[in-house]
Chain A
């Protein structure tokens, strides 16, 4: 009975994983299907012949590498900026009592209430009057600003999980507040920092709406906008689009491989009684 239960549990998990990963499989499958087979063997699970032509033309014959570089820049800088600011703000919310704290929290929450579509026009106006249209800077600023509230709450919850006693012990041991933060609290928040960094990175990496509105020139296009260039007036180049999609997954995967060891680390174990 017990093994049956465990077995069915695994079966359920396997079914879920299959379900979740199937679109990715399809992405890969179409990317390696020769163009002339895409429509003829549309629903076959594996094409009768495979090719890397799509990858070749995406890498060498399109602007994909430039989009890619732009996306990496925007995502990394946004993620880093957001995480730094959110870490500082989250620490303040977690540890300090100050005037207007609840007001700031409410304001942060309010920013999360509006659908992006509502504010995209004013944002466009602001960015245009700042002369930042068609620049990566505009995207970095917008992504950072939009992600700070959520990232701040996320970081605050991580700081809340670290006992205050540790800050105080460090300060008794001769640290300034900042030293206590840097030497004791921050190393313990690495999982939180990694989670925040990863979250913002993927959010920025796949963002389309703002990138589409604020960027027109080919030079500053990020990858999601660049993908749309595979859609021409009369046809969609599915093979190349999917190949680009597969390539776009690579940095996200690498990034998560890099941070996952922090994500799973339970560093605070043993800090206080246990």
Chain B
């Protein structure tokens, strides 16, 4: 287990700054998810922690020890690659034991560790297979097994689930969560999928354009996004956003309204009511019934399409006029620069 500190970290490729003044601390045993759209620098940041990418400025420390100049092999970090990166000419057992083979560990120890990891991941029957004879999910497991046998002080995951189909992704997501509970090792996990981020993380780091937008627990990010980017990125379906003008009249004087330029409200905090009541008036456009929830898309003049999420079924039909009630305590205000007015 290790604590990882990142101080004023920069990464430049020529004139381009990919990582821009990143400051983060990961506590021992934390499950950290780095999330952001593609090209936001999350993978670069992970690779810098791994030692696969050089550091332009700043410092990375593990347990207080400076890592900048250490090659990957001396960092005691295991990494699971998006492509799995299994060695195609080695069978599963040798793939998993390769790190010990390099260290020249005794055969006995190797075998028992491989068997142990295979047990945990359900790979016992596959140990003699070559990677090409494995399914995607099995390869994914081998890649995790290769990391586990090393018993490293930190695990890095680079979009490990993005090559799996939807059902398998959910299964492996659970597996990774279970693994973290079992091992308690610091894990840093990169994904562009905010659902993975919300479900797995102790703490989420949202990156955009190489800059940290917000750090917090999944619920902090969901309930009080620091800016418009985080508000849009976290949560599915996304937050409803509308211009302040639409709501200035129906809402009257809210504390932050005077400075706000945009307002946001999550779909579950927008309730359909009878026409003529509530804060906004509109017309039902589409109704989606998902069983437990219903999504009601409403066209509101001036605000465009807003989404309400209500429990259970609904009797609303497309074309019917409706009123929308805003759950005011859950209203988010954002200023001209897109910064949240509520977020401290």
Contacts and interface: CB of A to CB of B under 8 A. Distances in A.
B83 A163 contact: yes
B125 interface: no
A14 interface: no
B72 A168 contact: yes
A175 B146 CA distance: 14
B99 A173 contact: yes
Nearest to A169: B85
Nearest to B132: A270
B88 A174 contact: no
Interface in A31-48: none
B52 A171 contact: yes
A267 B139 CA distance: 16
Contact of A166 (B85, B99, B136, B150): B85
A172 B74 CA distance: 9
A184 interface: yes
Nearest to A268: B88
A13 interface: no
Nearest to B73: A174
A267 B73 contact: no
Count chain A CB atoms within 10 A of each CB in B99, B146, B163 and give the residue with the most: B99
Contacts of A187: 89
Interface in B114-170: 130-134, 136, 139, 146, 150, 163
A174 B84 contact: no
B229 interface: no
Interface residues of A, number: 25
Interface string B78-100: 11011111111100000000110
Contacts of B132: 269-270, 274
A272 B98 contact: no
A267 B132 CA distance: 9
Contact of A271 (B78, B131, B146): B131
Given A165-B81, A267-B89, A171 B131 contact: no
B249 interface: no
A111 interface: no
Contacts of A268: 88
A176 B85 CA distance: 17
B73 A171 contact: yes
B302 interface: no
A136 interface: no
Given A165-B83, A270-B134, A271-B131, A173 B102 contact: yes
A170 B87 contact: yes
Contact of B102 (A163, A179, A272, A274): A179
B322 to A, nearest CB: 46
A179 B101 CA distance: 12
A13 B84 CA distance: 41
Given A173-B146, A269-B132, A166 B84 contact: no
Contacts of A163: 83, 85
B85 A171 contact: no
Contacts of B89: 187-188, 267
A270 B134 CA distance: 8
A270 B133 contact: yes
Interface in B202-224: none
Contacts of A166: 85, 87
Contact of A272 (B73, B84, B146): B84
B72 A273 contact: no
Given A169-B79, A170-B98, A269-B132, A175 B73 contact: yes
A273 B83 CA distance: 6
Contacts of A171: 52, 71-73
Interface string A154-185: 00000000010110111111111001000110
Nearest to A190: B89
B298 interface: no
B284 interface: no
Contacts of B133: 270
A188 B85 CA distance: 13
Contacts of B136: 273
B85 A267 contact: no
A248 to B, nearest CB: 35
Nearest to A185: B87
B50 interface: yes
A174 B71 CA distance: 9
Given A163-B83, A163-B85, A188-B88, A174 B102 contact: yes
19 contacts: A163-B85, A168-B79, A171-B52, A171-B71, A171-B73, A172-B50, A172-B77, A173-B99, A173-B102, A175-B73, A175-B102, A179-B102, A184-B87, A267-B89, A268-B88, A270-B86, A270-B131, A272-B83, A272-B86
Interface of A: 163, 165-166, 168-176, 179, 183-184, 187-188, 267-274
Which 5 pairs show the lowest CB-CB distances between chains A and B?
A: A270-B132, A272-B83, A165-B85, A169-B85, A173-B99
